[in-house]
Amino acid sequence: MTAGFARRDFLKATSLAAAMPLFGSAAGEAVAAPLLDAAQSAPAPGKLRSFALSEVALSEGVFSKKRDLVLAYARGYDVNRLLQVFRANAGLDTLGAVAPGGWEGLDGEANGNLRGHYTGHFLSMLAQAYGSTRDTGYLDKIRTMVGALSQCRDALRRDPQMLSVAGKSGRALELQRGAYQFVDLPPEPLPAEFTFAAWIRPSHGANWTRIFDFGNDTTRYLYLSARNGNGVPRFAITANGPGAEQGINGTTPLPLNQWSHIAVTIAGTTGTLYVNGVPVGTNTALSLNPAALGALQHHWLGRSHFAGDPVFAGALDEVNISARALGPAELEAKGDLASYTFDELTGGTFADSSGRGRTASLRRTWGGPSHPGFLAAYPEPSSSPWKR
């Protein structure tokens, strides 16, 4: 069943079937229903009597066929697909479900800002289907959806909790697309010589997602992007915004849904970008190093200082930061400035195994709901892009 049917043909069929209680035999077929009989008292003049859906039946014809089509659609559809955008927004496991698209898509997919809308229509359909047929299959779907939505609301009420997945070694942190989550490291001055290395498994091919972004704003920062505007990795450092970036670009895109090791080193005026231990780009004319930027306010994994850039979607493992430029054979060594294995199974904090106690925290880019009972398939609007 295509998303096009779900939005157009399905609603057309539903509207016809739902309208049937208003039609008599003049519509082309009789409404066979246990209407008021002699034993029932008629409502007082000027008053209406409500009736249950189970009190209305259709004889064989075009309307009954459309009703059967709608009922079959409701019976067979996997409601986890509709719940995907709600679970993603709440940072919960989406169970591998794929949203139907159209209204029910994440940012950048058609009308993603309407996500969650069609889910409400679907719940109404299930309620009407159960009310008219008493088929418990529809009731089971209702219970699944309401239960999942309740879990999403509870998750949104609290600080984000990590989604632990199988890592390159041990466990890893999954940052789901649509969850708007990132890792916040304690900020401290960085050294002139520097290595950042990590295992990453991107799950989405959006450009300008950050593996790390250490900086103050959109003027003073250094970052490593999984994909630049051409879809290849990029490291950049600047003290005067994008136009003054000094960068290193990779040569080929990182594969989706596969682990890759990526690292960048800086020593003197030379910066080197590595993928899977192999140099893929070098800049020997750097006039900036991390220490030259001074104390930076934000040390982020997965989030950009540019509000329009997407949040990194995928898994992170073995993130290491060192105070010297490591050689190719050393790139997977434990960092002496910070080291995160993400072996935690629950919670929202990550231990630093470097011995320096730089515990990191999982956060949402939009902070948290400011209204009790907030439930949506998209973040609550924030008045500030830096709300945390």
Write out the DSSP string of 311-341.
Answer: PP-EEEEEEEEESS---GGGTTSPPSSEEE-
Sheet of strand 360-364, all strands in order from the earlier edge strand to the far edge: 246-249, 234-238, 221-225, 210-215, 298-301, 181-185, 360-364, 349-350
pLDDT above 70 covers a percentage of the chain that reads 85
Q: Do residues 141 and 212 both lie within one domain?
A: no
What pLDDT digit, counting tens, does each position of 304-313 carry?
A: 999 999 999 9
Last residue of a domain, one of 157, 189, 221: 157
Residue 10 has a pLDDT of 46
For residue 232, is pLDDT > 50?
Answer: yes
Q: Is 264 domain-assigned?
A: yes
Residue 115 in this model has a pLDDT that exceeds 70? yes
Same domain, 153 and 168: no
**Average pLDDT over every residue of 325-344:** 97
- Dmax over Cα atoms in the chain, in whole Å? 98
**What is the spatial distance between Cα 103 and Cα 82, in angstroms, rounded to a whole number?**
10
240 pLDDT more than 80 = yes
Mean pLDDT of 93-104: 88
Q: Which of 60-64, 98-102, 118-122, 248-252 has the lowest mean pLDDT?
A: 98-102
310 and 276, same structural domain?
A: yes
Structure tokens at 286: 């750097």
| Mean pLDDT, residues 71-76 taken together | 95
Among 115, 130, 157, where does a domain finish? 157
Instruction: Calculate the average pLDDT of the chain.
Output: 87
Give domain status of residue 30, yes or no: yes
CA distance 325 to 182: 26
Q: Given pLDDT bands bounded at 50, 70 and 90, which one contains residue 2?
A: very low
Q: Is the pLDDT of residue 96 over 70?
A: yes
pLDDT at 210 exceeding the cut of 90: yes
Top pLDDT among 310 and 102 is at 310
Which of 129 and 51 is assigned the larger pLDDT?
129
Q: Can you tell me the mean pLDDT for 61-83?
A: 94
Region 202-209: mean pLDDT is 95
Residue 107 lies in a domain: yes
- Together in a domain, 57 and 150: yes
- Residue 376 above 70 pLDDT? yes
Task: Please check whether residue 377 lies inside any domain of the structure.
Answer: no
Tell me: do 244 and 284 sit in the same domain: yes
Query: Residues 356, 211: one domain?
Result: yes
Mean per-residue pLDDT for 245-258?
Answer: 97
What whole-number percentage of the chain has pLDDT above 90? 72
| 65 alpha-carbon distance from chain centroid | 38
Non-local (6+) Cβ contacts of 198 within 8 A are: 211, 212, 261, 262, 263, 316, 317, 318, 319, 320
Strand partners of residue 260: 200
Domain hosting 185: range is: 163-364
Tell me: do 119 and 244 sit in the same domain.
Answer: no
Shared domain for 251 and 358, answered yes or no, is yes
Please, which pLDDT band fits residue 46 given cuts at 50, 70 and 90?
A: confident
Residue 225's contacts (CB-CB under 8 Å, 6 or more residues apart) are 207, 208, 209, 210, 211, 233, 234, 235, 236, 304
Cα separation of 175 and 178, whole Å? Answer: 9
Whether the predicted pLDDT of 294 surpasses 90 = yes
Query: pLDDT value at position 30?
Result: 36
Of 130, 157, 184, the one marking the end of a domain is 157
Structure tokens at 270: 């030379």
Pick from 91-100, 211-220, 274-283: least confident: 91-100
Shared-domain flag, residues 347 and 219: yes
The answer to the question of residue 388 being in a domain is: no
Query: Using 50, 70 and 90 to split pLDDT, how confident is the model at 108?
Result: low
pLDDT at 93 over 50: yes
Residue 186 and residue 298 share a domain: yes
> Is the model's pLDDT at 303 over the cut of 80?
yes
pLDDT at 15: 43
What's the domain count of the chain? 2
Q: What is the pLDDT of residues 151-180, one digit of tens each?
A: 999 999 999 999 999 999 899 999 999 999
Nearest to 156 by CA among 381, 364, 386: 364
| Mean of pLDDT values over 216-229 | 97
* Residue 39 belongs to some domain of the structure: no
pLDDT for 89 equals 92
Looking at the domain assignment, is residue 152 inside a domain? yes
Residue 26 pLDDT greater than 60, yes or no: no
* CATH at 306: 2.60.120.200
> Is 369 within the bounds of a domain?
no
Same domain, 215 and 249: yes
Would you state the pLDDT for residue 261?
A: 98
